[in-house]
Chains A and B, each alone.
Chain A
């Protein structure tokens, strides 16, 4: 196990509505529908088959990003065990499992203004009727790509590539200046 003390994620200044989520194990799982069931068994959580929906249980989350693409998330310490489990559990099933734990980080936006902050740069309809809890998708915020996942009525989990983190946070903070202080 690597020394977690050596890790250094892009810094994020927390606020009442924004925080950086702790490091996590992230895999991009790609493969045909035939691989989904086995992957779910190994991962301990069924991979969603409904487009743009996430499934989750404690310590596991699986986000549908495309017909052959899911983002799997688990605690950071599960990386090695999960990799081994996939290697043995899906040995004969064509698929691709790629570790992207460090490629991206996650922000949480929480509070009554969370959706409002996001719609300054995200062209999607974030009304709860159009973007309900449990919905997730790859989209953009201004000039950066994000994965947006609504985890509660007033909470969003935002995945962003590490080198775009500063831009995303800077933009959100600029937008937040419009909120009544």
Chain B
């Protein structure tokens, strides 16, 4: 195919060629490739432009640590995923990928001028540069910054894929299926514990997949991995999850996993399941998350073709790709030697092996000598060149006196570097475990855990194969035992060609006192050594402040490759040790997670529960327009053909005032308060005096919070000496029950009274209007409905259509009214029976809008509309309801505070506009005079406003400072279209004497 692909080897399937495109160019790769390996096999190193300076960037790594090679993978206009790491994108036939952050093209990007202007964009430039002139912020700076900010482009269409969610529990969750993780899983699984093993890669094995010379139990390591995987899969107590990233460590060993199901498929079927969120509650967690190689920090270390040594080895050994033919290897760690040896053996020329240390390890030195690698010690890198791919490296030497001298310039087409390995402690840090400093290896490793967390293998600095296997097995056994499962610890015989992986974080030596401009520490956020030095020079000392000022480690990669080097640079600058400088917190997610997986099933009809009443389908069949009230759907109005809302509501209101209306009040909250102390409980909780409420009667009740403000209201009936039926507002049902239960359990546990929600036990059918009695009488049995026997606010038990009936004579309209409570399964049948019986009397179903108008005509408040959490009963004209003789009730003492009785509190009043056709806007402000300068003194606001059919004009309720004393005054509502004059009135507009209630 081409010279970059090796003739054999690797874990790709060379019989299955896959066609794909990148920025419109067509390429071919193989099954098993990633987008990154396939592009490298085609000689493509330039993959993107950097975030800030738009510098050409290539591929740094070979896995989830990749900071540079972010691409957009496009299936169609609804399925396009930005900011994917090309190193993790599995190749499929027909894959379409695009580079990002470039215009007009990747090779020629106009914004690359930022790179030339980089002296203007030092660390914290956005804090300093955009200050003057002040007016330029809105006109120029902010729009420009917004256009430049962000990375990648979201898809345009709605996401057609599905996302699943799942809770899981296990005894041992193991994150990472490399050598240590597999060994831990084998040990834990053998004990009988429930085990979940997850790994972010499609194949288990971790680094073993790129170690062809490693052998375990006499087998090539990769074969051993496959065999163990099969053995684990056969166990009923083991769940294996590949392509699954543990992205977050939450309290009490709850781990978030994101499983990718179809992103690797060439043509997933429409509507297939794309991802699954796992919320795993694990007794014990084993982190076997491995280690990430550190880049070296030198000028031009971000040029395409400059890669991690481990990545060079992985591309060669796992994907059969030589990343270059003339390679410079820069060693800050013995690990670089392994890459040099492998690539040389694969036919690449190692043109220099520049070791920045004074000596390499014995094994590495011997192997290098045997392979005749051109090793130079005490080396440094002074720069690289090559416009879109590295073409040469300027090497230097550090003299024994510490001076840096330029030694040579070497032509090359790739640079492999290793600064040593950093244990992947992200999840451990997220769990709030403390990290401890391993001075021998210059790394932070998991120290004291905060949760039941164990670390195994390379993520705690144990990375030699045999040691990692033994550590994994031991930790797996310990974790299983901690979860209550004893088992033996398996032992594995293993061998591999291995050199050390230790190194020293920080920047390579450079000539001169000032740091070079383009030695990158954080590739994704374009942070250089110079930026870090500037932060230090400007007085930042805390690493957390330096992180925020320079943005190092704050990109989506969470500092995977940059964190330790930033610490090293800062520590060198302060001449302090790394542990003295400290470590910043690792944030979740480990790698970015889609919004879809968090949304899961909660979309469209399943976004939230849609609560409907027993008459919902009937209402829909009769053309109801619904409104959302909390989770409920309530019929708002029932328009007839040709009617708009205004006309329908006017007709519905007229029907209730002159004939009979039918209304579904089922959503009202209902709580049954039962027990010998029920009346005591009610007296303590509500403002009213319940001792005087006779059985078979009901009363309007008001509930305050302990701060004295109105919390809820509703009609309360006494069904028996020891039984109250309490109704609440529709939206308040759950919180009132919660408040009651709270008081009962924490304040008055001695009271013998118990609460039960009966909201949904009853369908509530309100029949309201002067003809209400006529309509229901033929249907009701066992209750005398005559005004004498069943006056306003009385309650009775009987039957309707054979169904049990709890009948309230009650009215929220000001008319003669009944509320028929029937067990909910009977709701639909009884509703239809009442409707049929009322047809001859022109019974009219009405909705919440008419209900609102009717109650406003009567000055009845709605909690949450007239009240806003700062209204006392007196403010809304309800002090008559308070049982004044009661020793106490919730909120009583607060009502005695001077501020609660102060004159000038806002009080409920009515408003009549001078022009009766003008309907005020709810929320509009009231002022004394419209001839004031803005800001005017606002003395009240409109809370409810409607066109009233009964009154033939508009009406409004308002909360007005000192309102009751202002009745008769004219005030103004300043609006954009002009000032509206209003007259202050009492809040009851219709039938103020309440004659109609008693019809």
What residues of chain A have their CB less than 8 Å away from a CB belonging to chain B? Answer: 2-3, 6-9, 23, 28, 30-32, 68-69, 94-104, 119-125, 127, 130, 142-144, 161-164, 166-167, 170-171, 174-175, 177-178
Contacts and interface: CB of A to CB of B under 8 A. Distances in A.
B829 A8 contact: yes
Nearest to B616: A163
B601 A97 contact: no
Nearest to B611: A163
A15 B614 CA distance: 24
B804 A2 contact: yes
Best-buried of A6, A94, A99 by chain B (most CB within 10 Å):
A6
A76 to B, nearest CB: 10
A3 B802 contact: yes
Given A121-B167, A175-B164, 15 more contacts: A3-B803, A6-B830, A30-B755, A95-B754, A103-B758, A103-B761, A103-B824, A122-B167, A125-B281, A142-B601, A142-B606, A162-B614, A163-B613, A174-B601, A175-B601
A36 to B, nearest CB: 13
Nearest to A97: B674
Contacts of B803: 2-3, 6
Contact of B273 (A8, A9, A162, A178): A178
A123 B612 CA distance: 26
Contacts of B760: 102-104, 161-163
Nearest to B613: A163
B608 interface: yes
B621 to A, nearest CB: 14
A104 B830 CA distance: 19
Given A8-B829, A144-B609, A162-B824, A96 B754 contact: yes
Q: Which secondary structure dominates where chain B touches chain A? A: mixed
A123 B828 contact: no
A167 B609 contact: yes
Contacts of A143: 602, 608-609
A124 B829 CA distance: 39
Given A8-B614, A95-B754, A119-B167, A167 B606 contact: yes
B761 A6 contact: no
B612 A120 contact: no
Best-buried of A3, A96, A120 by chain B (most CB within 10 Å):
A96
Contacts of A144: 609
A167 B675 CA distance: 34
Contact of A98 (B164, B672, B829, B830): B672
A75 B114 CA distance: 78
Contact of B167 (A9, A32, A104, A123): A123
Best-buried of B610, B672, B824, B828 by chain A (most CB within 10 Å):
B824
14 contacts: A2-B802, A2-B803, A2-B823, A8-B826, A9-B825, A98-B756, A102-B762, A102-B825, A103-B761, A104-B760, A120-B165, A143-B602, A162-B614, A175-B601
Contacts of A178: 164, 273
B166 interface: yes
Contact of B756 (A32, A96, A175): A96
A170 B761 contact: no
A100 B676 contact: no
Contacts of B68: none
B756 A30 contact: yes
B819 to A, nearest CB: 16
Interface in B734-759: 752-759
B168 interface: yes
A94 B674 CA distance: 9
A175 B277 CA distance: 13
B813 interface: no
Interface residues of B, number: 52
Interface in B27-48: none
Given A120-B164, A164-B611, A171-B601, A125 B756 contact: no
Contact of A166 (B612, B755, B823, B830): B612
A46 B588 CA distance: 50
Nearest to A5: B829
Contacts of B756: 28, 30, 96, 98, 100
Best-buried of B602, B755, B823, B830 by chain A (most CB within 10 Å):
B823
In the complex, the 9 A-B pairs of residues with the closest C-beta atoms, listed nearest first:
A30-B754, A96-B674, A163-B611, A96-B754, A167-B609, A125-B169, A7-B825, A6-B829, A98-B756
A178 B272 CA distance: 9
B194 interface: yes
A164 B632 CA distance: 10
B801 A98 contact: no
Contact of B752 (A94, A161, A166): A94
B88 interface: no
Interface in B587-625: 601-602, 605-606, 608-614
B632 A99 contact: no
Contacts of B804: 2
A14 to B, nearest CB: 18
Nearest to B804: A2
A28 to B, nearest CB: 5
B50 interface: no
Contact of B632 (A7, A142, A163, A174): A163
A102 B165 CA distance: 31
Contacts of A161: 760
A174 B799 CA distance: 41
A143 B169 CA distance: 20
A7 B165 CA distance: 36
B166 A119 contact: yes
Nearest to A170: B606
Given A28-B756, A125-B281, A96 B824 contact: no
A104 B828 CA distance: 16
Nearest to B677: A94
Contacts of A174: 601, 606
A167 B604 CA distance: 12
Contacts of A94: 675-676, 752
Contacts of A171: 601, 606
B565 interface: no
Nearest to B830: A6
A178 B72 CA distance: 28
B279 interface: yes
Interface string B161-178: 010111111000000000
Nearest to B756: A98
Best-buried of A119, A142, A162 by chain B (most CB within 10 Å):
A162
Given A6-B801, A103-B760, A167-B609, A120 B166 contact: yes
Interface string B795-836: 000010111100000000000000000011111111000000
Contacts of A120: 164-167, 601
A96 B724 CA distance: 11
B154 to A, nearest CB: 25
Nearest to A87: B720
Contacts of A97: 674
A166 B169 contact: no
Contacts of A95: 674-675, 754
Nearest to B833: A6
A94 B757 CA distance: 19
A97 B756 CA distance: 9
Contacts of B752: 32, 94
Nearest to B763: A102
Contacts of A175: 164, 601
Contacts of A23: 825
A104 B760 CA distance: 7
A23 B164 CA distance: 32
B443 to A, nearest CB: 36
Given A95-B675, A120-B164, A125-B281, A3 B801 contact: yes
A166 B824 CA distance: 15
A102 B601 contact: no
A104 B759 CA distance: 10
A84 B804 CA distance: 15
A162 B616 CA distance: 13
A167 B602 CA distance: 11
A97 B672 CA distance: 10
